[in-house]
């Protein structure tokens, strides 16, 4: 009885504390709001791109016309700006300073797609934490990330910034990033506000062409594209950024259903919403608004709190309020949301010293974590005859344009780091493996280089060596924003270079450093081993060399499907079954008899030329260890709504090499009120196994984990039969079935 009372008192205390702090927060907001003129309120809704600390900017600051700046990362300038805003404007409201700190500020981590390949929330959180520590030391208190756009299209350049094709994985990793940036206290000096983007559906751009329209129907929106945002908002994401795209004819920046019904009414989001760069003004180009005044009216009424750089609010909102086209309440609510985050960040309390605070950039522990992230982001796709890891004593040829490319190795969205700090694979070999005899021949100056005149040098280098390591892939500019590709083969003449090196007859290790999954089927015949790493950041070189020489054992898994041909896109693992799935082997083009009869090839869903399977499936990745799954068991054959079921299996490392396996749990709801995918990831875990060690791994599934947005447009699990699989990829063989009863 005593314990029960103690718990009740504790809960009561916490509730009162939360209530009291919210009350005081609201009181602070209302106190300032009550003093503000309409111009000062609109000033808070105005974010400007920083150009220079000139008289014009200083006057705007003094007049309270700017609520935020983006693209400034100089501590001295930021301190000056904040001092002016706090001490020389009428109400002393500080600015929130935004920056794209996407995968590191100075210490650059792998691009988000690479981080996703680690299937490791804790390392993703650590990367965000380190980025926040470094960025906050420069006066930045808001980052425009995590990007939570689900992407099933490797033609889309921004797949590089995404966390891949799977909603469950991206939800968990996105939330980990939010926690890393924000900690559990936004007022912490090293906490910076996160910004979940791009709300919503941006990754479904038609044709993989950036900024293009999307056509996401309601069920897909609810079950695939919205959940990643909801998961991050549940852990306290401070801000949301609207996307450029229109979905089914409505641009996100003017989509009231998204910004008010879902974000505010359903999810109770209490941060603020910012537009993306020109996404508001572009509603004119979209054909959704006739002029800048209507842009401001539609956006404000839709619930868009802060305008990024296009200035339509400053120009039009006071007049729109006068005309009654935008209510004072709409303005007040927007300003409340902005002030709320500024208070939570502690911006009103922080002092601003006009001198550069010494920052611990590139500290050893930051570099160590960046290397760990890069190691865990690498995916071993092929390893014939155990070519890898390389044995000591071998003479090595280091070939290709990505072997020593300090700028490109960092990947997209690197605004504040210096390439001079990048450690490339060549540099890592030279410093960390001084005993290894090597010869280096890039043969190509950069990935798009078409000049083959140095191929002969690469061939000679391979002839002089026992093994060739060929570094190919993409320059960083070839992925990221506005960089879509309609052909995703290895660009230029890189495949020819690989073929020339392979013709020497020595073992070839292909290392691909890229911002997206490339179509590499044609290259596999010319490589005995393939290690794939999405732009690995600053410490990519040491990570790659430690993996190649066996100091590290690959553990990365594909966060996105690798297609055989670009024409297979979109192809992803959690697809619907269709009425005619092509199961098993299908007839391929060169097997079709001449004058074959109309229906002789089977009327099912596949390509005559590239079949019905990807090159590598979601969740796939090899190791130097040999992992085997067995003894799948269920704690029950049937469970009731509200119950849970435990799924177990034995995982054995049947090798003499310690290794980490990402064990994955997939579930299929066999019959639903709307069709459910053939399988969905519902659990994953990194499991370290010593040589010849076995462990029983288990996943606990609750009925809630089986919930989806069904025909009645509510989120709930439906009774019926479910398949479950456990394995090392989405084609896991171990399967069992259970039933969920009402
Ligand atoms: C860009 C991007 C967005 C970024 C913003 C600020 O256009 O779409 O992701 O955060 O502008 O740089």
Residue 229 has a pLDDT of 99
pLDDT bin (cut points 50, 70, 90) of residue 1 is: low
79 lines ligand 1 (CB under 6 A): no
User: Which residue out of 100, 149, 210, 276 is catalytically annotated?
Assistant: 276
For residue 82, with 0-12 CB atoms within 10 Å meaning exposed, 13-18 middle and 19 or more buried, which class applies? buried
Q: CA 641: distance to chain centroid?
A: 33
pLDDT bin (cut points 50, 70, 90) of residue 117 is: very high
DSSP 235-281: TT--EEEE-S-EETTEEGGG-HIIIIIIIIIIT---SEEE--TTTTT
Tokens (6 digits) for 2: 């005593």
278 lines ligand 1 (CB under 6 A): no
Q: In this predicted model, what pLDDT tens digit does every residue of 165-204 receive, in sequence order?
A: 999 999 999 999 999 999 999 999 999 999 999 999 999 9
Residue 436: Cβ within 10 Å count: 18
Q: Return the CATH number of the domain spanning residue range 369-548.
A: 3.40.50.1700
277 lines ligand 1 (CB under 6 A): yes
Q: Are 564 and 519 in contact (CB under 8 A)?
A: yes
Output the CA–CA distances (angstroms, integers) from residue 141 to 133, 163, 506, 580, in the order listed.
10, 23, 52, 52
Ligand 1 binding pocket mutation candidate from 48, 96, 97, 100 (most atoms within 8 A of CB): 100
Q: In this predicted model, what pLDDT tens digit does every residue of 475-509 receive, in sequence order?
A: 999 999 999 999 999 999 999 999 999 999 999 99
Residue 55: Cβ within 10 Å count: 8
For residues 52-70, give the mean pLDDT: 98
Residue 359 has a pLDDT of 64
Residue 6 has a pLDDT of 78
- The CA distance from 99 to 80, in Å, is 18
291 assigned to active site: no
Q: In this predicted model, what pLDDT tens digit does every residue of 330-341 receive, in sequence order?
A: 999 999 999 999
* Residue 144 CA, closest ligand 1 atom number: 10
276 lines ligand 1 (CB under 6 A): yes
197 lines ligand 1 (CB under 6 A): yes
Q: In this predicted model, what pLDDT tens digit does every residue of 394-435 receive, in sequence order?
A: 999 999 999 999 999 999 999 999 999 999 999 999 999 999
Residue ranges of domains in the chain: 29-355, 369-548, 627-741
As a whole-number percent, the residues of the chain with pLDDT over 70 amount to: 99
Q: Where are the alpha helices (DSSP H) in 259-410?
A: 282-286, 292-302, 312-322, 328-344, 364-377
Pick among 1.10.10.10, 3.40.1190.10, 3.20.20.300, 3.30.2270.10: CATH of 29-355: 3.20.20.300
DSSP 475-531: -GGGSSTT---S--SSPTTHHHHHHHHHTT-S-EEEEEEESS----GGGGGG-SEEE
For residues 306-319, give the mean pLDDT: 98
For residues 334-362, give the mean pLDDT: 84
Q: In this predicted model, what pLDDT tens digit does every residue of 90-110 receive, in sequence order?
A: 999 999 999 999 999 999 999
3-class DSSP state for residue 433?
coil
Is the CATH code 3.30.379.10 the one for domain 627-741?
no
- The CA distance from 354 to 53, in Å, is 14
Count of residues making up the chain: 742
Ligand 1 geometric centre to CA of 289 (Å): 22
Q: Are 53 and 76 in contact (CB under 8 A)?
A: no
Given this chain, do its domains 29-355 and 369-548 carry the same CATH topology? Answer: no
pLDDT at 355 over 70: no
* Residue 71 CA, closest ligand 1 atom number: 12
Residue 356 has a pLDDT of 53
Q: Give helix 227-234 / helix 167-182 axis angle, nearest 10°.
A: 30
Range of weakest confidence among 19-33, 343-357, 651-665? 343-357
Phi and psi at 717, nearest 5°, equal -80, 150
Ligand 1 geometric centre to CA of 406 (Å): 24
pLDDT, the chain, mean: 96
Residue 11 has a pLDDT of 75
- The CA distance from 525 to 507, in Å, is 12
């Amino acid at each position: 009885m005593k314990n029960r009372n103690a718990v009740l008192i504790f809960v009561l205390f916490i509730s009162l504390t939360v209530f009291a702090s919210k009350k005081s927060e609201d009181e602070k907001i209302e106190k300032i709001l009550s003093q503000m003129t309409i111009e000062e309120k609109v000033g808070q809704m105005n974010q400007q791109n920083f150009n220079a600390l000139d008289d014009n900017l200083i006057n705007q600051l003094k007049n309270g016309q700017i609520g935020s700046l983006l693209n400034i990362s100089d501590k001295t300038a930021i301190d000056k700006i904040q001092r002016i805003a706090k001490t020389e404007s009428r109400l002393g409201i500080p600015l929130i300073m935004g920056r794209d700190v996407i995968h590191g500020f100075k210490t650059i981590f792998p691009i988000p797609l690479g981080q996703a390949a680690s299937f490791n929330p804790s390392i993703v959180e650590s990367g965000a934490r380190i980025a926040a520590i470094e960025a906050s030391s420069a006066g930045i208190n808001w980052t425009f990330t995590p990007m939570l756009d689900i992407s099933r299209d490797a033609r889309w350049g921004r797949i590089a910034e995404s966390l891949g094709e799977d909603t469950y994985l991206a939800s968990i990793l996105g939330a980990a990033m939010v926690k890393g940036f924000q900690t559990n206290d936004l007022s912490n000096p090293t906490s910076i506000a996160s910004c979940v983007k791009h709300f919503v559906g941006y990754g479904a751009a038609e044709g993989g062409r950036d900024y293009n329209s999307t056509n996401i129907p309601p069920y897909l929106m609810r079950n695939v594209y919205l959940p990643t945002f909801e998961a991050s908002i549940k852990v306290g994401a401070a801000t949301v950024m609207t996307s450029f795209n229109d979905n089914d004819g409505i641009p996100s920046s003017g989509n009231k259903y998204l910004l008010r019904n879902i974000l505010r009414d359903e999810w109770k989001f209490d941060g603020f919403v910012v537009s993306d760069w020109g996404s508001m003004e572009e509603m004119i180009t979209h054909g959704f608004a006739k002029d800048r005044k209507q842009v401001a009216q539609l956006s404000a009424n839709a619930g868009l709190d802060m305008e990024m750089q296009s200035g339509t609010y400053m120009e039009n909102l006071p007049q729109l309020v006068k005309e009654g086209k935008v209510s004072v309440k709409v303005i007040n609510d927007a300003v409340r949301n902005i002030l709320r985050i500024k208070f939570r960040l502690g911006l009103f309390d922080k002092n601003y010293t006009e001198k550069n605070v010494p920052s611990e950039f590139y500290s050893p522990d930051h570099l160590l974590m960046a290397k760990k992230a890069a190691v865990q982001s690498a995916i071993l796709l092929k390893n014939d005859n155990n070519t890898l890891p390389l044995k000591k004593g071998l003479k090595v040829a280091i070939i290709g344009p990505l072997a020593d490319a300090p700028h490109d190795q960092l990947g997209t969205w690197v605004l504040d780091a210096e390439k001079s700090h990048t450690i490339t694979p060549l540099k890592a070999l030279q410093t960390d493996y001084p005993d290894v005899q090597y010869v280096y021949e890039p043969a190509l100056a950069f990935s798009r280089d078409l000049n083959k005149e140095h191929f002969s040098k690469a061939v000679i280098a391979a002839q002089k060596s026992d093994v060739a390591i060929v570094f190919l892939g993409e320059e960083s500019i070839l992925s990221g924003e506005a960089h879509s590709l309609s052909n995703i083969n290895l660009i230029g003449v890189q495949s020819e270079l690989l073929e020339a090196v392979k013709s020497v007859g020595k073992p070839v290790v292909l290392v691909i450093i890229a911002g997206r999954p490339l179509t590499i089927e044609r290259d596999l015949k010319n490589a005995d081993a393939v290690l794939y790493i999405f732009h690995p950041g600053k410490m990519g070189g040491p990570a790659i060399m430690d993996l190649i020489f066996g100091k590290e054992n690959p553990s990365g898994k594909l966060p996105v499907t690798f297609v055989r041909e670009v024409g297979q896109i979109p192809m992803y693992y959690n697809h619907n079954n269709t009425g005619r799935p092509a199961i098993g082997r299908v007839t391929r083009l060169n097997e079709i008899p001449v004058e074959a009869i109309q229906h002789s090839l089977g009327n099912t869903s596949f390509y005559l030329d590239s079949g019905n399977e990807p090159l590598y499936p979601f969740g796939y990745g090899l190791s130097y260890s040999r992992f085997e799954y067995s003894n799948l068991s269920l704690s029950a054959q049937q469970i009731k709504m509200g119950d849970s079921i435990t799924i177990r299996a034995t995982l054995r490392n049947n090798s003499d090499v310690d290794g980490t396996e990402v064990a994955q749990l997939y579930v299929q709801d066999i019959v639903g009120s709307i069709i459910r995918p053939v399988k969905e990831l519902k659990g994953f875990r990194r499991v370290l196994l010593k040589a010849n060690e076995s462990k029983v791994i288990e996943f606990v599934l609750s009925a809630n984990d089986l919930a989806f947005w069904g025909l009645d447009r509510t989120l709930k699990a439906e009774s019926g039969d479910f398949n479950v699989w456990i394995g090392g990829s989405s084609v896991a063989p171990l399967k069992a079935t259970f039933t969920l009863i009402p």
